Amino acid sequence: MSNPNTDKVFTGSIPKLYEQYLVPLIFEPYAADLADRLRTRSLSRVLEIAAGTGVATRVLASVLPANVSIVATDLNQAMLDQASAVGTKRTVEWRQADAMQLPFADGTFDAVVCQFGVMFFPEKSQAFSEALRVLNPGGVFIFSVWDRIAENEFADTVTNALESFFPQDPPRFLARTPHGYHDHRIIERDLANGGFRATPRIDTLAARSRAPSPRDPAIAYCQGTPLRNEIEARDAARLGEATDIAAEAIAKRFGRGVVDGKIQAHIVTVENSL
């Protein structure tokens, strides 16, 4: 019953729950890191693809000089609507766009960035080719992807709990998509196939994921991501029960008060070599 076509569907209440629970849980440390990697570069235009609800966009808008324009795109208009509702400290252009076919002229941007969106692209090399196309010569493409699910403790715990809850057909969204694109050799191959000639730099960065209670990460993953689509496809009436099962599994592993787990990602930096 798993359907990879629904892995990129962020609709209904997912965007709001994603912003409320998942953003502080796992995305904020890496948004700050992304901004730091751009801070020292000479930039005039930056493109963000798969911006989601704008966690990285907000940091970029706060850190980059005011004369650097930022265009933030996502495939899902509902995610951009949530991002726009939260807002940024200065003007950002929000635009619905498919990373597989970017609606921008060649050589438009000095940097293209993507925080945890590449894993959702159906054809990675095609998306990389589009990122390269819209980059100026000498520009940079920076993106992050999650490491294997075993290195990301809350996601791993939730996935294992749901395997016992739906033993005949366990929902595997988290392992399949967010944590399914972590092999350095495959990333390097896909970038080369997309036209990048430079060797990418890949940094593995561990951080901590903290929440006030075990229920917060359970809601984050079970209701604030497309994992919800998989759960509801099996039995929509059991979403609450599935969330409870996930919360209990997190409580057993990390305690019943404030919880703290490891997260780990790869940050990929590749230049558009002259």
Confidence category of residue 12, pLDDT binned at 50, 70, 90 = confident
Alpha-carbon gap, residue 155 to 206, rounded angstroms: 14
pLDDT tens per residue, range 48-91: 999 999 999 999 999 999 999 999 999 999 999 999 999 999 99
Q: In this predicted structure, what is the pLDDT of residue 7? A: 65
Where does 116-176 show beta strands of DSSP type E? 135-146
Residue 30 pLDDT: 97
> Are the C-beta atoms of 221 and 246 separated by less than 8 Å?
yes
Burial 62-74 (b: 16+ CB within 10 A, else e): ebbeeebbbbbbb
Identify any residues that bridge with 260 across adjacent strands, giving them in sequence order: 210
Statement: residue 105 has pLDDT above 90: yes
Partnered with residue 263 across adjacent β-strands are: 207
- The whole model's pTM is what? 0.95
Host H or E run for residue 182: none
pLDDT at 10: 83
Provide mean pLDDT across the span 247-267: 98
Please say if the pLDDT value at position 43 is more than 60: yes
Q: Which residue has the tokens 């569907």?
A: 9
Helix (H, G, I), strand (E, B) or coil at 260: strand
Question: Can you give the pLDDT at residue 25?
Answer: 96
17 phi and psi angles, rounded to 5 deg: -70, -35
Looking at residue 107, its pLDDT comes to 97
**Per-residue pLDDT at 1 exceeds 80:** no
For residue 182, report the phi and psi dihedrals to the nearest 5 degrees.
-130, -5
pLDDT band at 251 (very low <50, low <70, confident <90, very high): very high
- Structure tokens given for 94: 């929000």
Is the per-residue pLDDT at 238 higher than 60?
A: yes
Domain count, the chain: 1
Please state, for a pLDDT cut of 70, what percent of the chain lies above it: 97
DSSP secondary structure of 25-61: IIIHHHHHHHHHHHHTS--SEEEESS-TTSHHHHHHH
Residues 65 and 43: their CA atoms lie apart, in Å, by 9
pLDDT at res. 4:
57
Domain coverage including residue 8: 4-271
- 203-233 pLDDT, tens digit each: 999 999 999 999 999 999 999 999 999 999 9
The CATH number of residue 10's host domain is 3.40.50.150
123-157, pLDDT tens digit by residue?
A: 999 999 999 999 999 999 999 999 999 999 999 99
Token pair recorded at residue 155: 């996601």
Order of strands, sheet of 201-211, starting from the edge strand that comes earlier in the sequence: 93-96, 69-74, 45-48, 109-115, 135-146, 259-271, 201-211
